Amino acid sequence: MSGMMVDDLRGKLVINGLGHPFARTFVTATVVGVAAYATGFPRASFTDDGGLKPFKPLSRDPEATYAHFLVLPIAIGTAAFLFT
């Protein structure tokens, strides 16, 4: 392995243990989720008393929001699964 030259993205992913789509999906979704949490994105998903606001496409509640805290990591993870 020491003499191997890897120039493409796929080869670099395999060497780093991300050779399978599920591994790439997990790592990508986790990194995006941590970054979203660090920037304070999930605050819009919760009410003032700590309850979870419903997701707007699935609820008619007036407090419903598009900023559900799992939408971003799931969407980016799915894109990583499909396009890498």
Backbone angles phi, psi at 66, to 5 degrees: -85, -15
67 located within any domain: yes
6 located within any domain: no
68 located within any domain: yes
4 located within any domain: no
Separation between Cα atoms, residue 13 and residue 15, nearest integer Å? 6
Per-residue pLDDT tens digits of the chain, which is 84 residues long: 556 677 887 788 778 887 788 998 999 999 999 999 898 888 888 888 888 888 888 889 888 888 888 888 999 999 999 997
Domain count, the chain: 1
Give me the residues paired with residue 52 across strands.
Answer: 46
Separation between Cα atoms, residue 63 and residue 71, nearest integer Å? 17
10 located within any domain: no
pTM of this structure: 0.70
11 located within any domain: no
Q: What is the extent of the structural domain holding 42?
A: 19-83
